[in-house]
Structure 1
Amino acid sequence: MGPSLPVVDAHHHVWDLEARDQEWITGEELAPIRRTFTLAHLEPEARAAGVVATVVVQTVTVAEETPELLALAAPGGLVAGVVGWTDLMAPDVADALAALRGLPGGSRLVGIRHQVQGEPDPEWLLRPDVLRGLRAVAAAGLAYDLVVLPHQLPAAARAAALVPGLTFVLDHAGKPPVARRTTHPWAGGLRALAALPNTVCKLSGLVTEADHRSWTVADLRPYADTVIDAFGPDRLMFGSDWPVCRLAADYADVLDAAHELTGGLGPSERRAVFAGTARRVYGLREPAVRDPGHTSR
């Protein structure tokens, strides 16, 4: 698959620090992204890379963010889907999801995510009230994005087994320890999750798990190969993780690395990774994905 074919970016963020602080952006390492990033900043880079549709993903666990993201998607431009946030443990979670669907852009809500990686309880996903919330997400016809660390993968697999009617989307390949050049225990947890049919994975976030200053595609390959082998192309989707990726690479470099890492796949398999899986899993509207020859967290 070459860059001339259409790409769906299944994972990026936007934030406006004047509207809301991003409390997670702290310290010298994250200083380069401690500024406002809007769709206007993203669109030229994405369009130049052949991206025809994107999925914007929540970054903070506040109720006000998701309606803002839905409004961003409402006009039907580049943003074709929104993975938002709602309190899974709230007794009225089903009503909250229905309310989001009723907002401007609500038809673009395709999934829900919680910052599980920040939860001290490694089995947070298995709490009875969380499982009830996950079942409500499934009943609403939405996917659930998993942002977890390697030690949380076993609980993610058990949750996916307990809620078989919900599609679990693993963000950033489960954050493998690329910089430490090891696959243990990440690979075992990843394969256990991938063994469940209601799971898919994003080929995203690898560059920021590597050494930000000196990473190479060769550094990423063992992890990408494991993901491709475990999930297969039909359960794998590309995501840029912009603007977080800017800590290690620009947009074009992230996409080029993904093309190189999937170079051993056939044409139909690459089409799945770079567009088809995201369109199917998130139910993205067909008109949002067009021939780029006819268009410009």
Structure 2
Amino acid sequence: MPDAQVLIDAHHHVWDLDTRPQSWLDEPGHEPIRRSHGVDDLRTAATRPIAGRRLERTVLVQCVASVDETREFLALADDTPLVGAVVGWVDLTSPAVGDVLDALRAGPGGGYLRAVRHLVQGESDAAWLQRPSVERGLRAVAERGLGYDLLIRDHQFPQAIRLAERLPGLPLVLDHAGKPPVAGRDLEDWERSVRRLAAHPHVRCKVSGLITEADPAKWTVDDIRPVWETLLAAFGPERLMFGSDWPVCVLAGGWNRWAAAVEELLDGCSAAETGAVLTETATAFYGLDPARRKERT
């Protein structure tokens, strides 16, 4: 069993703007995070424990559609004990996707590649995940024992649900709970979609990215609670995992403020349920090594 004091952050990013520009940071409102962010910055920011657990392992998630970025992240994971897994990017539409995955896994840090992701939220095709070329690519992902991070907005649930139906052998995790319209407070359609997706037992969900879907300046735990209660009822704690979405969460208060909110949301959960959300679900989904050495001091 994982150490009772271990906290897993199942979703964070790093970027070096001198090496790889991030065009999305040019959008208005992103000024507070429009600089380079590295793992050392995360260590400095993430100081608050949740339910007595302190951050010890993370899952580093791709930012841009770049195999080179994925190679860089794998090498970083190989040299950084804090990073236990990488969610990378490959061109799922390419006939050579299997060869690319194999090359990544054979390269430096390749053993830390545990899943892939594509920014489906930016695709205008309402059935992008059902394109034959994409489905072929996702089958190649599944054949290699890797998972897939679903990054969608709430109106894109139908294609995610269809994917879960068609590929039951592909482990799926819903990033940021499907970006519910927290600020608008009209959650009925989102709730219905979440329950339909959660009906597929191979789907997990990240409790992440919610504070930036609320009012970043004025959100409270009560704003997030209806989403949390729906996720808890639909997935159960054994299929939920904590993620910070750092440094994007800085736009809405930062890592420690989100951690405090999660601890409040977990009030009333048993020790086993809390352990699932904070440690065990992510450990199992991403194949994190509980014996990996602790961060160097």
Aligned equivalents of 1:264, 1:112: Cα separation in 2: 34
With over 3 angstroms needed to count, the CA separation of the structure-2 counterparts of 1:177 and 1:255, relative to structure 1, is same
Q: Aligned partners of 2:5 and 2:290: how far apart in 1?
A: 15
For residues 249 and 7 of structure 1, the distance between their equivalents in structure 2, rounded to whole angstroms, comes to 20
One of 115, 119, 123 as aligned partner of 1:115: 119
Spell out the pairing of 1:227-266 with structure 2 (5 A cutoff): 227-266=231-270
Q: Secondary structure at the match of 2:67?
A: coil
- Equivalent pairs counted in the alignment come to 290
Match of 1:11 in 2: 11
Matched, 1:267 2:279: no
Which residues of structure 1 form unaligned runs of 5+? none
2-side partners of 1:155 and 1:148: how far apart?
Answer: 9
1:206 pairs with 2:199: no
The answer to whether the 8 A contact 1:154-1:192 is kept is: no
**Conserved 8 A contact 2:12-2:247:** yes
- The separation in 1 between residues aligned to 2:113 and 2:26, in whole angstroms, is 29
Question: 2:224 maps to which residue?
Answer: 220
For 2:292 and 2:187, locate their aligned partners in 1 and report how far apart those are by CA, in whole Å: 37
Tell me the TM-score normalised to structure 1 length.
0.94
Query: Is 1:144 the counterpart of 2:148 in the alignment?
Result: yes
Runs (4 or more) in structure 1 with deviation over 6 Å come to none
- Answer whether contact 1:202 1:237 (CA < 8 A) is retained: yes
AA in 2 matched with 1:269? E
Contact 1:52-1:289 within 8 A present in 2 as well: no
Counterparts in 2 of 1:268 and 1:79: CA distance versus 1, 3 Å:
same
Does structure 1 residue 194 correspond to structure 2 residue 198? Answer: yes
**C-alpha displacement of 1:48:** 5.2
- Mark the runs of 5 or more structure 2 residues left unpaired by the alignment: none
The answer to whether 1:284 aligns with 2:291 is no
Distance in 2 (alpha carbons) for counterparts of 1:169 and 1:288 = 23
Amino acid at match of 1:246: V
> What is the aligned-residue identity percentage?
50
Is 2:161–2:197's contact at 8 Å kept on the other side of the alignment? yes
RMSD: 1.5
Q: What is the CA-CA distance between 1:190 and the residue it aligns to?
A: 1.0
Q: Does 1:167 align with 2:171?
A: yes
